[in-house]
Every structure is written in structure tokens, then in C-alpha cells.
Chain A
């Protein structure tokens, strides 16, 4: 396994960490099975691509992408809260719908951004530093928020909704807020990936949820989630490890077309190990 493969894995892993982090928020803090990632991630990418083609500054393009993807998260929350549609179904429906929206935004299935300029250059170390900075900008305020009065109430919503209601906590408000943050993270990851690859394809979101979920589960299997710090560390560590596992598999001759099967197998394996552990 070459050093380039390791470095590329780390770079991709940092972007994936943002996705896994977005997946963690509804799944672990709100007990809300959210599948919006498959739609919000390419939405962020599409909006960013169009903005960059329109000579919008890359940072502004990222901010616009985050807001758009965050709004998609809010839509998922509202569909679930208003019409009592299962949260996962709401996410799937919206992700399906957003595919058409992305095509409308871009005007065609894929766009190249090679001559448009972007945030990233050819130096992989600088690129990693930039992505890490964005990851920290996402994580640190949220980690601090969770330690405030409002953060405590936010966590209570997922851990014991009945008690949260008794405490006068609005489940709807915190769910909408949580899904906005999660959606924004997917949008951020999508826009960073598009700028990193200088290319946007409408299909980049297919299966991204399962990659993020695998990362989160691997991270939780390594560091656990018994404390808040461990829970917050899990998606980052998991994404970095997961990308390296993929790199190792590819270097051992796994065909890229088999990667999704490989990913699903990892998720099943981690779930099976967790089940065995809890029974034992």
C-alpha cells in the first residue's frame, strides 16, 4: 500500500468524517433515523458547483451550499413532524425528489470545474489542513453547544422524549434544529468534495449514507460512545479508519465496483459484533 494511497485515504476520510458527524447528530442525539444524507450531500455539491461556475467565492459557495442542504434537513423534519411520516421514509422521499432538483440546478448530470478555481490546490497536505479546519469549525461549536443548558435539553430529546416533554422541552424545535445542523454538514461535505475533485456528478450521493454509517459504527466500536467526548470522536476516527480499510482492500486487488458490497459487509459485521457483545 503506497503512501499516496494512505494520504488520499486520509483526505477522503476527513470529508467522510463530516458526513459521519452529520449522520451521528440525528441518529445518536435525536433518536431520529435520518436518511437525508443521500440527497443533501449531492445538493451541497450541485449548489457549490453552480456557484463556483458563476464566479462566487469558494467560501461563500460553501456557505450557500450548507444553508441549502440544511433547509433540506428542515424539510425532512417538518414532513416527519407535521404528517407523522416515518423519519426514514421522509428522508428517502426527499432524497429521491432532490435528485431531480440537483439536475435542474446543474442543467446537466455532471459538470467539470477545472478552470473555475476553488479552495484546493495540488498540495495534499494543505488540502487536508483546509478540510480539517472546516471539520473543526463544524465540531467545536457543536461540542460546546452540547455542554450548555440548551445542549443538555437537545440530548434529552433523543435519550428520553417522554421526560423531555415533561420538562417542557419542545421536541419539534430541537429536531428541526438538529436536522438543520446535520443537513448543513452534508452540504459542507458535498461542496468540499466537489472542490477537491473539481468535478460534480449528480450521482455522487448514491450510497454515501452507508459509508457514513459504517464510519460512525467503526468509530463507536473503537472508542465507544459512553461519554460525550467519545461519541463526538467516534465519527472522525471511524471515517479515517474506514477509508484506510478501503485503501487496504483496494491495494489487495478489490475491484472498485465491489466497494459497496464491501462497505455493506463491514456495517453488518460491526452490527453483528455489537449484538454479540451486548448478549454476552
Chain B
């Protein structure tokens, strides 16, 4: 569903390329988690896949529409519209000259299935909800969009631990049921271990670990943290990371 070959990406003013010769292939319904330190190139990778950035060289191919949930909820929702309108808009691949309120009962069922009590705000402007509640709705919108590829950039960052767990489980269940190819960025090592079929670690623009199957299932938090720190320590004794002009 997603294929990247030899992708490089640089930005003016940054000496070191942000992405270096990235090769990545994601199959149908594959759920891939990406971890890495700040500035390792995770978000750039996601933006290359979504088409927001163009690769300097290499090839990017995606088969199917892309939906994404980003940390900034203002980008992923329309605060002045009601929750019903936001979710109706996201699921509207084939618009008709018919009242959008016909979707209300379906949408209510979907919001209820989140099991977080947000259904009572269905007719309220989404802007009155908290950041975490809006992130939850943004995730539901992305899952509701019918897209075959889903990109999640720390989509639970504004949530409390209980809501985080609920939304992560809901996301995992939905992408599994709908066979959505998913790439999820997280800084939470526990989530990285517990969710997804595949774990990718990025370091200074490269994919340095790509674990799946038994190699992933045998990982523990401690091993993952050791792995993470090993690469970070290399940076500390190396040339100090990115140089910004």
C-alpha cells in the first residue's frame, strides 16, 4: 500500500539531510509504529507519505487515500462546526444533494462505540471541547473517512492515561477490522510495544531498527529503552546532531 525507495529529504538551513535513503514498504492492513528521538525524521517521513512534502530523490508510491491525525487538533477538525458536522464531513466521499443530518444515527453509534461519553456533545461546536476530546474526534474522523492509509502523529498526546489507552485500543481494533494500513508515531514506549505488528526506530534520518514478528514480541520495555539510549549515546559522542545555519 505504501512503498518508499531511496527517499532523501533535506531542508534549507539544515546541513544534514532529515531523511537519508529511506526504504520502507507497508502492506495492506499493516500497523507500523515509529519511534525515535526528537529530530530523528519521524514527522518528515509521515509528511512524505501523506504528500505534504515532496522527496528530494527516491520514489514514493501509495495505493489509496491517506488520512492523518496530527497533534495540532485545529488542523484536524473544524472548531466552528458541530461534532456531527465534523464527522459527517470526514465520511463524505460521495456527497449528495441531501441533508447531512441523515447520517446522525450512524455517527452517534460510532461516537458511542468510543465509549468515552462524547455522544452528548454531538450537536455542540467541536471548539468547545477539550484538546483531548478533539483529538479523540479527529481520530474517529480519520477512521471514518474510508481511507486505506492512516497516519497518526502522536494522536493521543493531549489525553489522560485512561483516555489514551481507550483510544489506542479503539484505533488498533478499527484498523484491524477495516484492514487500514497504519503508520503511528509515538514517544510512549509501552504503546510502541503493545500496539502494531511492526516497530521501526529512526535515528538521524535513517531507519536503524525494523522489528516484526517474534523479534518484536520478544522485546521488553527495558530492551527497547536500552536500544533507544544506545543510539542516542552514539549521537552524544558523535558530531552533535543537526547543525542549523
Contact = CB atoms under 8 A, between A and B. Distances in A.
Please say whether chains A and B are actual partners in one complex: yes
Interface of A: 147-153, 155-156, 159-160, 162-163, 166-168, 226
Nearest to B85: A152
Contacts of A156: 78, 81, 89
A148 B75 CA distance: 23
Given A149-B88, A160-B75, 4 more contacts: A149-B98, A152-B95, A153-B95, A163-B77
Most buried by A among B68, B96, B99: B99
A160 B78 CA distance: 6
A152 B80 CA distance: 12
A152 B96 contact: no
B101 interface: yes
Contact of B75 (A159, A163, A167): A163
Contacts of B93: 168
B100 interface: yes
Given A147-B100, A149-B100, A150-B97, A159 B78 contact: yes
The 8 A-B pairs of least Cβ separation, nearest first, read A149-B95, A159-B78, A160-B78, A152-B100, A147-B99, A149-B96, A159-B80, A148-B97
B63 to A, nearest CB: 16
Contacts of A153: 89, 92, 95
A149 B78 contact: no
Interface string B155-194: 0000000000000000000000000000000000000000
B36 to A, nearest CB: 25
B71 interface: no
Contacts of B96: 148-150
A155 B81 CA distance: 9
B43 interface: no
A96 to B, nearest CB: 34
B76 interface: yes
B70 to A, nearest CB: 10
B29 interface: no
Contact of B76 (A152, A163, A168): A163
B90 interface: yes
Interface residues of B, number: 26
Nearest to B80: A159
Interface of B: 65, 67-68, 74-81, 85, 88-90, 92-93, 95-101, 125, 145
Contacts of A149: 88, 92, 95-98, 100
A36 B145 CA distance: 37
A142 to B, nearest CB: 13
A147 B95 CA distance: 12
A226 B125 contact: yes
Contacts of A163: 75-78
24 contacts: A147-B99, A147-B101, A148-B95, A148-B96, A148-B99, A149-B92, A149-B95, A149-B100, A150-B96, A150-B97, A151-B100, A152-B81, A152-B100, A153-B89, A155-B85, A156-B81, A159-B78, A162-B75, A163-B76, A163-B77, A163-B78, A167-B92, A167-B145, A226-B125
A159 B96 CA distance: 21
A162 B75 CA distance: 7
A153 to B, nearest CB: 6
Contact of A148 (B67, B76, B78, B100): B100
Most buried by B among A147, A155, A156: A156
A84 to B, nearest CB: 20
Candidate in B67, B68, B76, B78 with the most chain A CB atoms within 10 angstroms: B78
A103 B98 CA distance: 43
A221 B145 CA distance: 37
A155 B101 CA distance: 15
Nearest to A231: B80
Identify which of A151, A160, A226 gathers the most chain B CB atoms within 10 Å of its CB.
Answer: A160
Contacts of B92: 149, 152-153, 167
A175 B224 CA distance: 51
